[in-house]
Amino acid sequence: MMKKTIFSGMQATGNFHIGNWLGAARNWAHLSADYNCLYCVVDLHALTVRQDPKALSQSAYSVLAWYIALGLNPEDNILYFQSHVPAHAELAWILNCFTYVGELSRMTQFKDKSAKNEDNINAGLYTYPVLMAADILLFQTHLVPVGDDQRQHLELTRDVAQRFNAIYGDVFVVPEPYIPKVGARIMGLLNPEGKMSKSGDNPNDCIFLSDEPDAILKKFKRAVTDSDNAVFASPEKPGITNLLSIYSCVTGKTLDESVAAFAASGYGDFKTRVGEAVVEALAPYRAEYDRLMADRAYLDSVLQSGAAKAQALAAPTLVRVKEAIGLPV
């Protein structure tokens, strides 16, 4: 039987943080046994916010190195930079013509990002979800493993695919989201009402995978809690609930087991132990990441073969799309 296809991506901006890891990449490494897996570093998407050219390139390699360090073996997974495969941008243009302005105006990420970048609300920020739909549909993707914040973009991807299929026949597989039960929305440590994000104002809100162990422990000690000193999960306790989710993701314990582990703990002890568990879980990956970042030739060889494989897989879909709509091929 033909294996189904998995596609996911991460922006080439800033640093990889534990939200990216626990909500998304953590769930990717074991999938290659059962699926054809493609993981892209989406550098074109990153351009929707003004980037420093050197930092952008460095971030793109850094995301690739984390992919590999976190267990995505390039022999079993196709890893590449989005800008190395022009079919992404080509399909995005076509899908732009099948996506309504009204749909894009409803995207919460667009609203959030335009509020944060008032002086640069560019057209790319607006059509960002169409490029994402193209990323996914280009490979006849069945499953898209992402964090909860991408749910709305995936709904749009499905709508665009179904709209196109309704006119031209079954050209695209209609993808399903694959969102973890725990860890799908890691919240900020200082503001547990908002998701942990690279673009936040305060670096203490966010744990980066490349943070030194001491810095990680300090950030956890500063995490915002509440005043009743009892460790359990509840919507009224967003800070504690977030720390419990992080602990349960990195230790593999269920949420109930995690609550039980802290039955006799006050918040001080709880926060220290969550920090220690994260440091311990990250230790093997950090060394591998450092090794990979020092080997640019190897990363370039991964990129070259990844882009060639992705381009070959994308080509038949692009031909089908062009034939369907009447572009000469």
Binding region for ligand TYM (CB under 6 A): 7-11, 19-20, 23-24, 42, 45, 132, 135-136, 144, 146-147, 149-150, 153, 184-186, 195-197
218 classed as catalytic: no
4 classed as catalytic: no
Name residue 208's beta-bridge partners. 17
219 classed as catalytic: no
Cβ 312 to ligand TYM, closest distance in Å? 19
Cβ 270 to ligand TYM, closest distance in Å? 20
Q: How many CA atoms lie within 13 A of 69 on its CB side?
A: 25
Catalytic residue among 4, 54, 111, 198: 198
User: What is the Cα–Cα distance from 206 to 14, expressed in whole angstroms?
Assistant: 12
User: What is the Cα–Cα distance from 280 to 243, expressed in whole angstroms?
Assistant: 15
User: What is the Cα–Cα distance from 317 to 319, expressed in whole angstroms?
Assistant: 5
Q: Which is nearer to ligand TYM, 147 or 238 (CB)?
A: 147
Name residue 35's beta-bridge partners. 4
User: What is the Cα–Cα distance from 124 to 112, expressed in whole angstroms?
Assistant: 14
**Cβ neighbours, 10 Å, residue 1:** 3
Cβ 124 to ligand TYM, closest distance in Å? 13
Q: Which is nearer to ligand TYM, 174 or 230 (CB)?
A: 174
Cβ 297 to ligand TYM, closest distance in Å? 26
Residue nearest to ligand TYM (CB): 23
Are 28 and 3 within 8 A, CB to CB? no
Query: What distance lies between CA 10 and its chain's CA centroid?
Result: 4
Q: Which is nearer to ligand TYM, 156 or 217 (CB)?
A: 156
For 178-207, b where at least 16 C-beta lie within 10 A, e where not — what string? bbbebbbbbbbbbbbeebbbbebeeeebbb
Catalytic residue among 4, 54, 111, 113: 113
Q: Which is nearer to ligand TYM, 20 or 317 (CB)?
A: 20
Q: Which is nearer to ligand TYM, 152 or 265 (CB)?
A: 152
User: What is the Cα–Cα distance from 225 to 187, expressed in whole angstroms?
Assistant: 12
Cβ 264 to ligand TYM, closest distance in Å? 29
Encoding tokens for residue 17? 């943080």
Catalytic residue among 3, 116, 181, 195: 195
Which residues are catalytic, by number? Answer: 113, 195, 198
